[in-house]
Amino acid sequence: MPYLFTSESVSEGHPDKVADQISDALLDEFLRQDPASKVACETLVTTGLVVLSGEVKTEAYVDVQKVAREVIKKIGYTKSEYKFDSEACGVISAIHEQSGDINQGVERAKPEEQGAGDQGMMFGYATNETDSYMPLALEISHVLLKELAAIRKEGKEMTYLRPDAKSQVTIRYSDTHVPETIDTIVISTQHDDFAGEAEMLKKINDDVLNILIPRVKAKLSKVANLFTSDIKYHINPTGKFVIGGPHGDTGLTGRKIIVDTYGGKGAHGGGAFSGKDSSKVDRSAAYAARHIAKNLVAAGVADQVLVQVAYAIGVADPVGLYVTTYNSTKVKGANGEVMSDGEISEKVASLFDMRPYGIVTRFGLQNPIFAETAAYGHMGRTPEKKTVKVKQNGNWTEKEVETFTWEKLDYVDKIKAAFGL
């Protein structure tokens, strides 16, 4: 029997995402000057106020107030009527030095023996239902808000838009887990107070259907057929949405962990990403697990894969590595039968170095590449090379770095060889 599955996303102007972006911008600035920085930054945003806290061990000096204001300005909180704007908001810093007790468990004389920054389990997931190997409901949810933000920043249409917004998409799947159609789309967007409420809501509804949705369909041309006339739309279903952003709801780093990952598909170990350097396996090992899952699916091992890895604080090697294919395995073992998840796990463990040092070096995670991960998902993005300014030997210079390296399909050939594909 067909079933429904739903995922949501939030815009870069959502208060929790504002907090995430500030935390990751701070991380980047510390790494820009000192790649060995150990950072765990938390941000709170509310009416007219930003509070920065956390622990840092670094040789860098960062003007944290300036960084926070630049992020807020880039997002679009630049008007006093928002009750939270880049120029007028207060910025308080309570950042202090990282605990030596934690640091002694992480740093080693030999870098490859670096211990995990904390205990815990991390998950990575991939599915072949989209080109990005991401769940379809989440991918559409992200694209809806990316396009809404693009429209707002272009300033030519829907000029009443404000930065805060949320989306939600429900997909109907067949018995065989194939997406059949989009059942429901929910869009809630903050806006100016520009007319009577009924007139205002009609205008927003019409513009979403006639401006936003066509742009989204163009971006998602391979699944455009799923946008049928039968979709149920709920656009600003509570009515007026003028008060929003940090003025409407306090934002905190790390509260959108499902938006950051797989929209509820697969599993989540509970650890947030933003504001944490790569010694924190909550972040780095989750990226590595996604990399494994994506390459396994791309290589044809299974239609969908979930990878779990677990660590003990201060210990380099994982305490466990688990893979499940949800009975979608396409490869056979030595006995000619479908390969078990246990056999797949053993092969994966031999192919991928999951020690923190191995993960950090494999993906270049000591580079300032994290700010752009903090909105619209850490997974399913496109790796890109770019030039950034970094400080080396006391002097500023340019360096080429690559973003979203954990999304690369660079292990497909190795996996095919290992699995006889």
DSSP labels for 34-52? -TT-EEEEEEEEETTEEEE
Exposure letters 176-185 (e unless 16+ CB within 10 A, then b)? eeebebbbeb
DSSP labels for 356-389? HHHHHHHHTTTSS--GGGGSS-SSSPPPEEEEEE
List, in sequence order, the alpha helices (H) in 195-280. Answer: 197-207, 213-219, 245-248, 257-260
256 marked as part of a ligand binding site? yes
The dihedral sign for the CA sequence 376, 377, 379, 383: positive
Beta bridge partners of 276: 40
Paired sense of beta strands 179-191 and 232-235, if any: parallel
Question: Position of tokens 């030039």?
Answer: 387
165 marked as part of a ligand binding site? yes
Q: How far is CA 381 from CA 138, 171, 197, 222, 377, in A?
A: 12, 21, 38, 17, 8
Q: How far apart are the first and last CA of the chain?
A: 33
Residue type, 338: V
Token pair of 329 as six digits: 């395995």
Token pair of 339 as six digits: 């390969």
What length is written for the chain? Answer: 421
As a whole number of angstroms, the distance between CA 82 and CA 303 comes to: 46
Beta strands (DSSP E) in 219-303 are 232-235, 251-252
156 marked as part of a ligand binding site? no
414 marked as part of a ligand binding site? no
As a whole number of angstroms, the distance between CA 119 and CA 281 comes to: 8
As a whole number of angstroms, the distance between CA 94 and CA 89 comes to: 16
249 marked as part of a ligand binding site? yes
Beta strands (DSSP E) in 266-381 are 304-311, 320-324
153 marked as part of a ligand binding site? no
240 marked as part of a ligand binding site? yes
As a whole number of angstroms, the distance between CA 337 and CA 348 comes to: 19
272 marked as part of a ligand binding site? yes
Residue type, 168: Q
164 marked as part of a ligand binding site? yes
As a whole number of angstroms, the distance between CA 370 and CA 335 comes to: 45
166 marked as part of a ligand binding site? yes
Beta bridge partners of 403: 384
131 marked as part of a ligand binding site? no
386 marked as part of a ligand binding site? no
Binding-site members for L-methionine are 55, 98, 249, 280
List binding-site positions for Mg(2+): 16
Binding residue ranges for ATP: 14, 164-166, 240-241, 249, 255-256, 272, 276
Residues forming the annotated binding site for K(+)?
42
- Point out the annotated binding site: 14, 16, 42, 55, 98, 164-166, 240-241, 249, 255-256, 272, 276, 280
